[in-house]
Amino acid sequence: MTVIKSPKMPRPALNPSGAPLPTREEAEEAVRVLLRWAGDDPAREGLVETPRRVVDAYAEWFAGYKDDPEAFLERTFTETEGYDEMVVLTDIRFESHCEHHVAPIIGRAHVAYLPDRRVVGISKLARLIEVFSRRLQIQEKMTAQIANALDRVLQPKGAAVIVEATHHCMTTRGVHKPGVTMVTSRMLGAFRNDPATRREFLAMVGDPAARRVAAP
C-alpha cells in the first residue's frame, strides 16, 4: 500500500503578538493608501517604486524584531585573569523610530558593566543596542531593556546604560524644537548602590548634559 503524504505548508510568519504578518503585497498596498491619503498619486512616475522602497526600508529599520537580543550575550568568556574592573563602551551610535509617530530617533548609547565571573565581546554590546533600537521604541523603555538584558544574562555586579538622543517627532513636527537632546539612564547593582562606582562611570562617559547629539 502506498501512502502519499501531502506536502507541508509553510507556517506563516508571526509578529511578537502572535498574529500573522501581512504579505509584502499587502504592505506595499498600505503604502499606496497612505500616498493617496497624503494627496498624491501612487501611480505617477516618481512614486511607482515608492511602495517597494518603503517596505524595503521598513525591513531594515525594524530588523530587530527578528533577533533575540539576549542571544548575543550568551557566548561569554571566563578566562579573564581575574579582571574585575569596569567594562565601558561609549558613543555607540544608533538609529531608532518612535512608536508614537514612526519618526526617527538618532542618538548614542553608553554602556557599562562590572563583571563578576564572565565578560562578553564588545561587539556583542553594540549588537545588543542595535537589536533593541531597530524596533518601534520610546527611549526610556529602550534604556531599561538594554540594562536589564545585561543584568539577566551576564549576572554582573552592576550594569549601567545612558542614552542620549534627538527625537524627530519633536524637532520636525509638533512643537518644532530643534537642538533638544533627551537623556535617560538605568543603573543596576553597584552602579545604583555605590556612589563611587557611579561617579567613575559618569566620569568615563562625560557629562551628558554637556553633550549634544546631532542628527547627521
- 123: its cell numbers: 561587539
Where does residue 28 rank: exposed (0-12), middle (13-18), buried (19+ CB within 10 A)?
Answer: middle
Whose cell is 555607540? That residue is 92
Contacts of 3 (CB under 8 A, 6+ apart): none
Nearest residue to 73 (alpha-carbon basis) of 197, 156, 164, 187: 156
CB atoms within 10 A of CB 27: 16
Q: Which sequence positions are flagged as catalytic? A: 98-101, 139, 167, 169
Give the separation between CA 94 and CA 81, rounded to whole angstroms: 33
Reference 163, options 124, 129, 120; nearest CA is 129
> What does the DSSP 8-state code read for residue 11?
P
